[in-house]
Every structure is written in structure tokens, then in C-alpha cells.
């Protein structure tokens, strides 16, 4: 058995590196979001603990895509499209896959 202490910090699967261009050290804390109808696939998404932007981790390919201005975003690695919904303060309240 070999141990690599450098990887300990990345063992937590609920945290992924923030994909925002100017955010070098932020982690996105992922949570599971289910569609309102209860039948849509679970979406893993969350907010960066550094810059506060929201991102989604694609269930198909694992790519992490940043949301901007509430627009639907196509995954950087496949054809999946995700949408987040904002409340009046601009905070993400839910995430879902739309295509």
C-alpha cells in the first residue's frame, strides 16, 4: 500500500474544484437536487466557497460547468444542458437538467 498525502484533501467526492476562470482555490460543494416532479434525474450542483458562483457536475461525463446569469448551460464535455433557478437575491435555489 502506498499513501500519497497530497491527495487527502481531494478525497471528498462532494467537493470539486471551481471552474471559474479567476477562481483558483475555490471548491464547489456539491449537493443533490431533484426535479420538482420527482422524476427528473438527480443533479449534483452547488456554490463555490470562494467566489460564490454556482456550478453543476455532469452526471454523464463528470465535467464541471459554471453557471452565468441564470442562463441554461451546456456541459463542456457532452450534450447535456443544465439550468439553475435563482431567487430574487440571485442565489441559486435549485438545479435541474433540461436536455
The site for Zn ion (CB under 5 A) is made up of: 18, 20, 23, 26, 48, 50-51, 58, 60-61, 63, 75, 77-78, 80
Burial of 15 (0-12, 13-18, 19+ CB in 10 A): middle
* Cα–Cα distance list, 21 to 59, 62, 72, 79 (Å): 22, 18, 19, 22
Cβ proximity to Zn ion: between 3 and 24 the closer is 24
For the chain, the C-alpha Rg in angstroms (whole number) is: 14
Which of 50, 83 has the CB closer to Zn ion?
50
Q: 18 or 30: whose CB is closer to Zn ion?
A: 18
* Smallest separation (angstroms) from Zn ion to the CB of 24: 8
Output the smallest distance, CB 82 to Zn ion, in A. Answer: 9
Amino acid at each position: 500500500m502506498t499513501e500519497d498525502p497530497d491527495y487527502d484533501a481531494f478525497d471528498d467526492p462532494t467537493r470539486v474544484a471551481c471552474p471559474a476562470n479567476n477562481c483558483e482555490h475555490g471548491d464547489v460543494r456539491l449537493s443533490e437536487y431533484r426535479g420538482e416532479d420527482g422524476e427528473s434525474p438527480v443533479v449534483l450542483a452547488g456554490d463555490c466557497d470562494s467566489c460564490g458562483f454556482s456550478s453543476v457536475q455532469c452526471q454523464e461525463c463528470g465535467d464541471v460547468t459554471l453557471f452565468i446569469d441564470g442562463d441554461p448551460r451546456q456541459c463542456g464535455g457532452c450534450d447535456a444542458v443544465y439550468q439553475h433557478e435563482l431567487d430574487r437575491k440571485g442565489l441559486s435555489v435549485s438545479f435541474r437538467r433540461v436536455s
